[in-house]
Amino acid sequence: MFIVKKIGKIPVFTAGILIGLGVLGFIKYSSGSRHSTKETFSGPKHDFTLNALKNKDNLVSLAVIGSGPAGMMAGVYGARALRDTVIFEGDKPGGLLMDTTDVENWPGENAINGPDIITKLRAQAKKLGVFFLQESIESADLSQWPYRLITDNGTQLHALTVIIATGATPKRLGIPGEDENWGSGVSACAVCDAPFFKGRDVMVIGGGDSAVEEAIQLAPYVNKVTIMVRKDTMRAAASMQERLKNYANINIWYNVELQEILSNDQGSVTSVVIYDNREKRSDTVAIDGVFLAIGHSPNTAIFNEQLAMDQEGHILVTDRTQKTSVAGVFAAGDVEDSTYRQAGVAAASGIRAALDADQFLGSIGITKEYMDSLNEQLFVQQLASIVRDIPSFFSVNDLKAYEKSKDTIMFVIFYSDTCSSSAQMMPIFQEFCQENDDYLFAKVNSDAAQELVQHFFVHKVPCIFAFKNGELIGRCNGLMSKQQLGEFAATFQE
């Protein structure tokens, strides 16, 4: 069975343009290696004295950017080392594993869903005391210590150490018709979009493990899948290629490259121009959908010119550690790994990064006791007082457009400004929202959103609906205490 798991936007840790940083020594090295040599690896020399922390607010010992397996395990080890640790979950919480179905090579599991791995890791990290913030880091200034990070919500903090675990984004071909048809016939996520191609003919571009996985995810839905491989062999592991034999409707076409994607006036993909690089001939082939599986680019834009990177933008780490070219800044997972790119390896590198960060903090005299003494200056102290914004929905489209609700349970409260029970319920709902960042929340003013009221047959407010993967999974009418709200939420936990 396939579960729709798209979390909307492609993961982008959008490039905040950093002006006048005056950082020394960065450099995109031509080295393809994931470990650099000492000669090519030097960042700014900071003065790591405790004086530098005076008069700084929102201090955090360990800021982890990204919430895939690398970020989660960095969090687990950070918290276990009793470091105040915050994970910034980013635009795509959980990372690429959220788009994966069966994972058969995660330690200790015969087969497990990608999102289930993330759910377990998140719960483990949270139990150990990691703080999660559903925000992306939009800019980072590594030119001064403590390092200044700014989130997409404008939250500014000062991190004593940073672990970059921002992962990677699927690559694009850069051919005509690709951008124009993106999301309506061109996709990089079969798990998300396969159900839209029922009974149709589709292509998967690429010859690696991802291409095999995409084809297998598409096969049960579509009429025919053709894997388009540009060489005369596939790069995918033999075991992965073997799995293809179980699917009669998957074909492989070798020595072909895509040149253009064509669509009709309705914006539906109709055909592609392919180039047979053996016959040296171009042809137009009818097709309904194109799925790209041609590798990934590391999400490092905000660190350009600040950290040593290879030509593809992977952050270089050194000396068999996760240390980057800036002391106190570490990288883990696909953002630095151009070789192995496995969830298990990413998790392990997150562990290493956190151990490195802990060791670094110790070496400059930062202890838990010292951090506790800073009290009001600590970001984690402030976190408790940040009021989570509950978005308002006005139409069915608002609800549908709230793509992040997929995979995460979302509670939507219908209320009325003129109803005293609603007035009592809203602060309880807000408090519950504040204490439960595992869920998403939204509110509907029933006086202003008649379409939603009629669509969901709301006859009484307050009334709370629960959604998952865009589907209604439960509802509860009337005024509730926080405990009752918790019990209602608990009924949806697997």
**What part of residues 248-287 is at the interface with ligand NDP (CB under 6 A)?**
257
Contacts of 425 (CB under 8 A, 6+ apart): 413, 415, 462, 479, 480
Pick from 59, 76, 121, 205 the residue near ligand NDP by CB under 6 A.
205
Of 90, 104, 144, nearest to 240 by C-alpha is 104
* Residue of 84, 91, 193, 407 marked active site: 193
Tokens of 406: 């997929």
DSSP code, position 459: -
Interface with ligand NDP includes 169 (CB under 6 A)? no
C-beta of 225 vs 452, nearer to ligand NDP: 225
Residue 339 or 373 having the CB closest to ligand NDP: 339
Residues shown for the chain: 494
- Per CB under 6 A, does 163 bind ligand NDP? no
Among 89, 209, 310, 407, binds ligand NDP (CB under 6 A): 209
Cα(233)–Cα(311) distance, integer angstroms: 26
Asked about 192 being catalytic, the answer comes back as yes
Q: Which is nearer to ligand NDP, 85 or 210 (CB)?
A: 210
Residue closer to ligand NDP, measured from CB, 179 or 305: 179
Among 143, 155, 210, 338, binds ligand NDP (CB under 6 A): 210
Beta strands in 179-237 (DSSP E): 186-187, 201-205, 224-228
150-188 burial, b at 16+ Cβ within 10 Å, e below that, comes to bbbeebebbbbbbbbbbbbbbeebebebbeebbeebbbb
Between 148 and 243, CB nearer to ligand NDP: 243
State in angstroms the smallest separation of the CB of 436 from ligand NDP.
32
Between 117 and 466, whose beta carbon lies closer to ligand NDP? 117
Number of residues that bind ligand NDP (CB under 6 A): 19
Sheet-wide strand order for 224-228: 186-187, 289-292, 201-205, 224-228, 250-253
User: Which spans in 159-261 are helix H?
Assistant: 190-193, 209-218, 238-244
Q: Which of 189, 433, 463, 476 is catalytic?
A: 189
Rule CB under 6 A: say whether 310 interacts with ligand NDP.
no
What is the pairing mode between strands 463-468 and 471-477?
antiparallel
**What part of residues 355-384 is at the interface with ligand NDP (CB under 6 A)?**
none
Is residue 296 within 8 A of residue 168, CB to CB? The reply is yes
Per-residue burial over 421-457, b if 16 or more Cβ lie within 10 Å, else e, is ebeebbebbbebbeebbeebbbbbbbeebeebbeebe
Q: Of these, 33, 105, 311, 481, which contacts ligand NDP (CB under 6 A)?
A: 105
Judged by CB under 6 A, the stretch of 140-148, 294-302, 414-422, 479-487 that binds ligand NDP is 294-302
Site for ligand NDP in 18-77 (CB under 6 A): none
The active-site residue out of 91, 192, 337, 358 is 192
For residue 412, count other CB atoms closer than 10 A to its CB: 24
DSSP β-bridge partners for residue 397: none
Smallest gap from Cβ 388 to ligand NDP, in A, equals 35
Q: Which of 341, 404, 468, 475 binds ligand NDP (CB under 6 A)?
A: 341
Q: Select the residue interacting with ligand NDP from 11, 95, 207, 298 (CB under 6 A).
A: 207
Active site residues: 189, 192-193
Q: Which residues bind ligand NDP (CB under 6 A)?
A: 105, 173, 205-211, 213, 230-231, 235, 257, 293-296, 341
